[in-house]
Structure 1
Amino acid sequence: MLGTEALYTAAQTRALDQCAIHEHGIAGVTLMARAAAVAFRYLLELWPATDAITVFCGTGNNGGDGYLLADLAHKRGISATVVQLGDSGKITGDALMAREQAMANGVPVCSFDGYEMPIDGVLVDAMLGTGLAGALRGEYPAVISSINSSNLPALAIDIPSGICSDTGKVLDDAVRADLTVTFIGMKRGLFTCEAPEYTGAVQFADLEVPASVYESTGGNCARLDLAALLEQLPPRSLTTHKGHCGAVLVVGGDYGMAGAAAMAAEAALRCGAGLVSVATRPEHVAALVARAPEAMSRGVSSDEEFALLLEAADVLVVGPGLGDAAWSRQLLHRSLASGKPVLLDADALTMRAKGVVEDSGAGPRIMTPHPGEAARLLGTTAAVVQADRFAAVEELQARYAATVVLKGNGSLIADREQTLLSDYGNPGMASGGMGDVLSGVIGSLWAQGLTAIEAAALGTCLHGAAADVAAEEGQRGLLATDLLPRLRALLG
């Protein structure tokens, strides 16, 4: 896989845990003690002056981690109280051993009924962990609400309670943590959908599990690292000329939307494409030349004019400002039938979803939908897409036989073999034109010789990272064109 950090579902993490216990002889309570020690260490690093903690424990192993953390704090002379949620009679196994140890060492334990939230100290969420799959029940909604309204710092053990660890979806409400410490397997839901709003900083510990344990659970999901991806770009030879660096053709810019095509073209240029052309409405050529003189902008009114541009291109970026007119449909039809690698974005995706233009499948495809476009392509709603972004991107990939970038908070990139996650980017990107820039970035990298998945992965990370650099001057008012100089700087 291209990613440097494997991501796991809850079921896969449990399998890793069981492999460590049953095949490598590491006792479950030993793993629990290691988890508690790591979480306590991070707690002290972030809040070194704390003299009190309150640990909210459920009835499962997540609660066991919490009991042992409370015991460590108590031994350290820090006031530690456990608030037990659920029926304590249901606690069994390693979690019961942890509870009994903490209570034997003098850690006070109380129920939530009638409990008054503290006015200071650190709160620890050890309630539900990765086991939650449905709506919150019993006392949990009230407890989570109390934690969030306390204005006290909070640490979540493994994952904030209320978040689905497989999807990142908040199931009802969730603990808003300042720090999440997760163990054995990095949970894929921590970095996408709504989860980043709740996790705070995320720290990971493998609990000294042998490397061979991870070989036993075949995962196909990973988190991307920009520095590692940049190493895929070979240095340019001293004899390099523009013909060696790929030719990108941007197809778009219907009436009133020439800016979208211009931004895609500029992004392609800034990311190193040797030649960039734009096929657009004849009326827009002058404006495009003024905006981006390095791009060869051509007015297209006939198949013959377009055929000449297609012939010279290595990669087509189709969709920025393309519209849905007869002119737009014809350009999309000719692009898809060209046999060239085609990146489909924006209006091209909308037309594909409507079925007004069929895809011959004559060349490789990259698709870059946002959740609304993904919903149209799948015949569902954006809410359904967001409820399980991993399922959505994998279904898109299978249905359309393309490399797919599902944009959003924690963008997902999928081909037939792997699903990758990029958590670069920030809320300042909620402005028009960002997707047009992304399509130009990916198209440029693809034309320079990267595979479709390599170009999509690097391009998505590069785009988000450029926005992060630009946002250092402020998120509000961040423009898509603000990314252009940062892209070049990051590529080096």
Structure 2
Amino acid sequence: MSSNFLNTWEMKILERNSEYLGVSREILMENAGKEVAKALESKFGQNIKVAVVSGLGNNGGDGLVAARYLTRSNEVSVILLGSEVQIKTALAKKAWNRLKNLRHTVTIFQAKSESTLTELENVIRDAAVIVDAIFGTGIKGKIRGLPRKAIEIINKSGRQVVAVDVPSGLNPDTGEVHGIAVKASLTVTFHAAKPGLVKPEAKEYVGELVVADIGIPREAELIAGPGDVLATLKERKPWSKKGDFGKMLVIGSSNLYTGAPALSALAALRTGADIVVVAAPESAAPTIRSFSPNLIVWSLPGETLREEHIEKILGWSIKFDVIVIGPGLGRSEETLETAGNLLEKLEKPLVVDADALHALPLRKNALKEKPSIITPHAGELTALLGEKVPIDLETRIALAKKAAKIYGTVVLLKGHEDVITDGVKHKVNATGNPGMTVGGTGDVLTGIAATLLAHSGNPLYAASSAAFINGLAGDLVFKEKGFHITAYDVVEKIPEAFKEIEKYR
């Protein structure tokens, strides 16, 4: 059980990561309902009349599970706000079907209209304790219709009320009320307190707050997993247009290295970016264009990045959501000086990789006050900190946190287990395999991270999601080709990796 506050977005991540670890959401619902029943009996005793008012989603499912446990020692009635055919989720439907089998120990009503609910008002009023399982954390907009009527009846009943996870109608993140909210005597919230539940103005709705352990493994908070990815992706609505899902500028390449920025750009496109432009020296631009017709390449005079390019790049940057700098740049003195000046002057979210990392030690404040991610391997982090990075995980976490604090950025330390940290929180990613030591997979990671940063605006979760996706794509290649992997193979498996993640939605 977490000791910190977690908002609803973070809780969704944990639930999905928990399922990835083998603790399904069905198990979590079962545990949640059991904990509600236990808390109710602990506070109000047994052998009492209990009325469970259940909505049609998973919060209602939690309430239905609680009702099943409460039948052991209490007289239980359940009022479903709607018809059973309207139950919205498979988990809630399972909970309903299990409860229906208890023909002799629970009385079930389906309130399909406000008039039916009015007729059932005496069931609610006759109970010693009412369980509010109408809405959970996903509520949006003002409450109307049957749910509003139910909340009005509950609030004027004068009975003790136990809210499941959150009082229906109360925003658990802000403490604001969606027009009307249940006034609970006791709120049993799950895994961690939500920030809105402890706001002073929420006290009259929350009542006593109990945080219940429902079996989410601590590991679910520590790992990068499918929950991170699904929370980071931007929803694609029917009327979406070009540019809504990320416009990226990749500053890279030199007369020696042409593949790196192309891999970053192609990975960004496969991840879901709408527009990706590579800004490259004119000596490399034709080669980069030749890799794919999907690549847009803007040329800079000369063979390497130079000081004279800064004003042009700054002008271009205005059109983009995220800037990538580093892949294939080279490390000449002028190139690193130019890269450092760009890092200081660019005012957009940044992903800094490869050669551009070597411009940071002399500019420790360049990334502060702007959303950013750096993606060093152990050798590059050693250069950034001036101390050797070992292979033991705990020390790697500590050094990554140290770098994040020094440079004011999110660090994605690549390795057998990737470490992702903002200097306070950290995550560890375990996808990937030794075949990914091949050159270019880090450039693929950079493109994925940039796209997810454009989608979410959250560097920590964009980085953890990118590490998970990149490694998963590499693992899918490994299944087919063993260790005979190229970076482009990983790019081509990115869509399949996202399909794998969809099963946790």
Range class of TM-score, shorter chain? 0.5 to 0.7
| Separation of aligned partners in 2, 1:398 and 1:228 | 22
Per-residue deviation, 1:307? 2.5
Contact 2:251 2:278 in 1 (8 A): yes
Partner of 1:337: 345
SS of residue in 2 equivalent to 1:382: coil
Change (3 A) 1:453 1:249: same
SS of residue in 1 equivalent to 2:269: helix
| Separation of aligned partners in 2, 1:257 and 1:396 | 28
Partner of 1:252: 252
Per-residue deviation, 1:238? 1.3
SS of residue in 2 equivalent to 1:266: helix
Q: 2:400 aligns with which of 371, 393, 397?
A: 393
| Separation of aligned partners in 1, 2:219 and 2:493 | 34
Asked if 1:352 corresponds to 2:360, the answer is yes
| Separation of aligned partners in 1, 2:222 and 2:389 | 24
Per-residue deviation, 1:412? 1.0
Aligned residue identity for 2:484: G
SS of residue in 2 equivalent to 1:277: strand
| Separation of aligned partners in 1, 2:221 and 2:238 | 38
SS of residue in 2 equivalent to 1:397: helix
Per-residue deviation, 1:230? 2.2
Aligned residue identity for 1:343: V
SS of residue in 2 equivalent to 1:468: helix
Partner of 1:367: 374
| Separation of aligned partners in 1, 2:251 and 2:437 | 24
Greater Cα offset, 470-479 or 452-461: 470-479
Asked if 1:299 corresponds to 2:299, the answer is yes
Contact 1:248 1:317 in 2 (8 A): yes
SS of residue in 2 equivalent to 1:448: helix
Per-residue deviation, 1:294? 2.1
Contact 1:276 1:296 in 2 (8 A): yes
Per-residue deviation, 1:314? 0.9
Per-residue deviation, 1:461? 0.2
Q: 1:435 aligns with which of 437, 442, 463?
A: 442
Contact 1:337 1:362 in 2 (8 A): no
Per-residue deviation, 1:227? 5.3
| Separation of aligned partners in 1, 2:429 and 2:491 | 19
Residue pairs, 1:455-470, within 5 angstroms: 455-470=462-477
Contact 2:377 2:414 in 1 (8 A): yes
| Separation of aligned partners in 2, 1:236 and 1:221 | 27
Aligned residue identity for 1:323: G
Per-residue deviation, 1:423? 0.5
Partner of 2:229: 229
| Separation of aligned partners in 2, 1:442 and 1:360 | 16
SS of residue in 2 equivalent to 1:243: coil
Cα displacement string for residues 302-343 of structure 1 (whole angstroms, at most 9, x for unaligned residues): 334322321211111111111123145314422431111111
Contact 1:427 1:475 in 2 (8 A): no
SS of residue in 1 equivalent to 2:368: coil
| Separation of aligned partners in 1, 2:391 and 2:447 | 28
Cα displacement string for residues 136-187 of structure 1 (whole angstroms, at most 9, x for unaligned residues): xxxxxxxxxxxxxxxxxxxxxxxxxxxxxxxxxxxxxxxxxxxxxxxxxxxx
SS of residue in 2 equivalent to 1:404: strand
Contact 2:228 2:465 in 1 (8 A): no
Change (3 A) 1:228 1:358: closer
Per-residue deviation, 1:360? 5.9
Partner of 1:281: 281
Partner of 1:240: 240
Aligned residue identity for 1:238: P
TM-score by length of 2: 0.52
- How many residue pairs align between the two structures? 287
Aligned residue identity for 2:410: T
TM-score by length of 1: 0.54
Q: Where do 5+ consecutive residues of structure 1 fail to align?
A: 7-209
Greater Cα offset, 394-403 or 434-443: 394-403
Cα RMSD (Å) of the superposition?
Answer: 2.8
Q: State the percentage of identical aligned residues.
A: 28
Cα displacement string for residues 327-366 of structure 1 (whole angstroms, at most 9, x for unaligned residues): 453144224311111111111112213x278616352221
Change (3 A) 1:219 1:231: closer
Cα displacement string for residues 96-120 of structure 1 (whole angstroms, at most 9, x for unaligned residues): xxxxxxxxxxxxxxxxxxxxxxxxx
Partner of 1:272: 272
SS of residue in 2 equivalent to 1:279: strand
Per-residue deviation, 1:232? 4.0
Q: Where do 5+ consecutive residues of structure 2 fail to align?
A: 1-9, 20-210, 302-308, 500-505
| Separation of aligned partners in 2, 1:486 and 1:211 | 40
Per-residue deviation, 1:224? 2.5
| Separation of aligned partners in 2, 1:349 and 1:260 | 15
Change (3 A) 1:403 1:478: same
Per-residue deviation, 1:432? 0.5
| Separation of aligned partners in 1, 2:372 and 2:482 | 32
SS of residue in 1 equivalent to 2:427: strand
SS of residue in 1 equivalent to 2:329: coil
Change (3 A) 1:223 1:5: farther
Partner of 1:418: 425
Aligned residue identity for 1:451: N
Residue pairs, 1:6-405, within 5 angstroms: 212=213, 222-226=222-226, 229-301=229-301, 302-325=309-332, 326-353=334-361, 355=362, 359=366, 361-383=368-390, 388-405=395-412
Contact 2:368 2:409 in 1 (8 A): no
Contact 1:367 1:403 in 2 (8 A): yes
SS of residue in 1 equivalent to 2:323: strand
Partner of 2:492: 485
Contact 1:406 1:412 in 2 (8 A): yes
Change (3 A) 1:310 1:372: same
Change (3 A) 1:333 1:256: same
